[in-house]
Structures are given as structure tokens and as C-alpha cells.
Amino acid sequence: MQIEDRVFIVTGASSGIGRSTAIALSARGAKVALLARSTETLRQLAPKLPGSLPLTVDMTQFERVREAVAAVRQHYGRVDGLVNNAGRSYAAAIEEIDPALFDEIFHLNVLGPIVAMQAVIPVMRAQGGGSIVNINSGTAFMTIPQYSVYSASKRALLGFSLTARAELEKDRIVVSEIYPFITATNFGKNRMGNPAGGGPAATYASGDKPEFVAGLVLQAIEEGQAQYFANDRLRKMAGGAP
């Protein structure tokens, strides 16, 4: 799908991959609705991205997600793309999993993206098509002690994304997924649960740049393949050709 002059919603636009994606889309001439909880951070970013729309949204508050999509449509008159990027991790051994935090992770990483898709699908269908890009994780293909909840949430997102892709093909709505590897963002700092879980923050600092992942998002929007991987190791883990 073309990017220039199109309207995109980016969730988790206040930091990391979402912020880089919003900047990259804007630089290519798109209008971007910036969704996240951090009102002040979005307020500072918006003037740098011409025609952007900052919206304070907690993606686990599903009615608010629906309201935000309606507000974007009202503001621009259309919605062409959705980048489901907002997400967090949770470190806890199986015997320590807190059901409330399990719920929070699944609400944010799985149900939030589903509710956002549900809200944009009728709009895109009426327009004759659109692009949905879900940010997954290489951990969907890995078994990592303490990361069962996070990797299970991303495995669930994988299933919903592939099914949505099959269901929506007839409507010319293309659903793609991005599989980042370790990326230098605030992701490690924002992890919930065991502070010892997941190793030092330095692991993230030496990861891929968020701009690299944003480049994969733009590639997915333009090309529309099902899955994009940050490296060949992840592609192999997913069972794809090297």
C-alpha cells in the first residue's frame, strides 16, 4: 500500500519502535495518529510530525481504544493503516506468575491489538482496503525461562494475525507481522515482574536500532507479505527459508 498522504494509527508511539515508526511514516508524507498513555511525550512529539494527532490511550481500556479509532476517522475522514505496536514484557517463573499481571499482558499484547483491528476493519473495508501491521517478537519462537507469559502472548498474536490475514484478504485488508530481535528501546526498563529476569538492560542497549525495525514496518505496509524478520536466525526459527 502507498504511504504518502495515507492515514495511519500507531499504538505505543511515545517510545522505541512505535515512535520511530511514526517518525518514519511522517517523513514519507503520511498523517499519523499517535496513541500511548504518556500524554506529555506525545504532546512534544506531535509538532515535529506535520498533521499528526496525539491521543492519550491505554490499550487495555477497550472502550477508549474504540473511541480513539473513531476520533481518528472523524479527524482525517479515513483510516488507511494500523500499526499495533504497544506492548510490554513480564518476567516471572511459572510458579510465580501473578494472574493479574498475566491478564494485563494479554490485554495489552493480544486483546488490545484485536480490539484495535475490530475498530479499523469496517472503516478499511468501506474504503476498499487497508494495511494492518502487528509487532510480534522473536520470543514467539523461543522457550526462555521467566518469559512464558510474554512469549505466549506473542504466540497468540501470531495466531490471530495469520487468521485475520486469511479472513480479510477478500476485503483487500492486508495483515502483516514484524518480528524484531533485541532492540535498543525502553522495553527492558518497562518490563513487569521480577527485576532480575531477562538480564541487564545493557542487552537491549546493544540491540538493533528502533529505526531498523521501523524500516521493516514501512516495507510491510508497501509490500504486504505475511511476516518480516529482523534477522535470518529468527526466520529459520519460524520455519522459513534462510
Catalytic residues: 150
Question: In a 3-state reduction of DSSP, which class is residue 10?
Answer: strand
Q: Taking contact as CB under 6 A, which single stretch among the options 10-18, 43-51, 90-98, 160-168 is the one that binds ligand NAP?
A: 10-18
**Residue 28 in contact with ligand NAP, rule: CB under 6 A:** no
Backbone dihedral region for residue 182 (phi beyond 0: left; psi -120 to 50: alpha; all else: beta)? beta
Restricting to residues 209-228, name those near ligand NAP by CB under 6 A: 210
Of 38 and 127, which has the nearer Cβ to ligand NAP?
38
By CB under 6 A, name the one of 54, 130, 180, 193 that touches ligand NAP. Answer: 180
Restricting to residues 124-143, name those near ligand NAP by CB under 6 A: 135, 137
**Cβ atoms < 10 Å from Cβ of 233:** 13
**184: DSSP letter:** S
Count of residues interacting with ligand NAP (CB under 6 A): 31
Nearest to 137 by CA among 212, 228, 65: 228
**Residue 14 in contact with ligand NAP, rule: CB under 6 A:** yes
By CB under 6 A, name the one of 6, 9, 12, 22 that touches ligand NAP. Answer: 12
Alpha carbon dihedral 234, 133, 27, 210, in 10-degree steps, equals: -30
**Residue 148 in contact with ligand NAP, rule: CB under 6 A:** no
Q: Using CA atoms, how far apart are residues 53 and 220, in angstroms rounded to an integer?
A: 23
By CB under 6 A, name the one of 30, 36, 110, 121 that touches ligand NAP. Answer: 36
Q: Taking contact as CB under 6 A, which single stretch among the options 44-52, 71-79, 83-91, 165-173 is the one that binds ligand NAP?
A: 83-91
Cα three-residue angle 179-181-185, rounded to 5 degrees = 105
**Residue 56 in contact with ligand NAP, rule: CB under 6 A:** no
Q: Is 74 exposed, middle or buried (0-12, 13-18, 19+ CB in 10 A)?
A: exposed
- Summarize as ranges the residues that interact with ligand NAP (CB under 6 A): 11-12, 14-18, 36-38, 57-60, 85-88, 108, 135, 137, 180, 182-183, 185-187, 190, 204, 207, 210
